Amino acid sequence: MTFWDFCAPFYDIASKANGRAYGDMLKAVFEIIPEDSSVLEIAAGTGAISMAVAEKASKILCTDISEPMLKIAQKKAKKRNISNVSFQNLNIFDTGLPDNEYDVVIASQVLNLIDHPQKAAAELRRIAKKLVVLPMSLIKNLRGFAKLIIGFYRLFGFTPKLEFDNEGYTAFLSAIGFDRCEIIQIPGRIPIAIAVFSPPPTHYPAPPSQQPI
């Protein structure tokens, strides 16, 4: 059993410890998603973001490596009568999905937890047609109650590879290929930064009649 399998029953409760910021993040992601987009959520956990944007999306593939997490997400969808979300175990490094398969790819709170984030970032960019959305809790140099919350998580095996403040997250994103992101700041006990990356348009050769002479 992995850490994420173990904490699946408590995952939503833990999110409520940063309730206002977490709720504001869900609202912000909803606003970011273009109407009728196809959406892939990688490392979705219990599917909070997928559920939050389902009303606006044409279809959503909600994925995680943890089966217990996905089972909870499926129960949420059934309880809320959400029919446009499907569920699948996927590896962030090798999804097996075609290029440009989804309009929007969302990966929340994951790139700081894994080895080789550059490889994962390349996979996210490959799949996304329009946007990559990357929410991240900023846990570096927290104080007071927020620091206690993160310390409590660590007792149960939460071991991020990297911790960020605003500047550090922006620099990290640039280093792994997400340069020139729009960053949306969500204040709270534990602040959240939502990075929004727009892949550059694919350039095709002009038809022969339009090519410069």
172-196 pLDDT, tens digit each: 999 999 999 999 999 999 999 999 9
Q: How far apart are CA 58 and CA 50, in angstroms?
A: 12
Q: What is the pLDDT of residues 1-57, one digit of tens each?
A: 787 887 888 888 777 778 899 999 999 999 999 999 999 999 999 999 999 999 999
> Where exactly are the structural domains of the chain?
3-199
Give whole-number Cα distances, 181 to 94, 126, 163, 187, 193, in Å. 23, 16, 19, 19, 11
Q: Is the pTM of this model over 0.95?
A: no
Q: Which long-range contacts (CB under 8 A, 24 or more apart) does 91-98 make?
A: 91/65, 92/42, 92/43, 92/65, 92/120, 92/123, 92/124, 93/119, 93/120, 93/123, 94/123, 95/42, 95/63, 95/123, 95/127, 97/40, 97/127, 98/127
Confidence band, pLDDT 50/70/90 cuts, at residue 208: low
Name which of 120, 140, 126, 130 is nearest 38 in CA terms: 130
CA atoms of 126 and 140, how far apart (whole Å): 30
> Which CATH superfamily hosts domain 3-199?
Vaccinia Virus protein VP39 (3.40.50.150)
pLDDT of residue 203: 42
Question: How far apart are alpha carbons 174 and 195 in whole angstroms?
Answer: 11
At residue 158 the predicted structure's pLDDT band, cuts being 50, 70 and 90, is confident
Amino acid identity of 112?
A: N
Pick from 203, 149, 186, 156: nearest CA to 15: 149
Other Cβ atoms less than 10 A from the Cβ of 31: the count is 9
Query: In this model, does residue 213 exceed pLDDT 80?
Result: no
- pLDDT, tens digit, 9 for 90 and up, residues 94-137: 999 999 999 999 999 999 999 999 999 999 999 999 999 999 99
pLDDT of residue 37: 98
Q: If phi over 0 gives left and psi between -120 and 50 gives alpha, with beta otherwise, what is residue 161? A: alpha
Strongest mean pLDDT among 33-47, 145-159, 192-206:
33-47
Strand partners, 196: 133, 182
* Cα distance between residue 135 and residue 174, in whole Å: 15
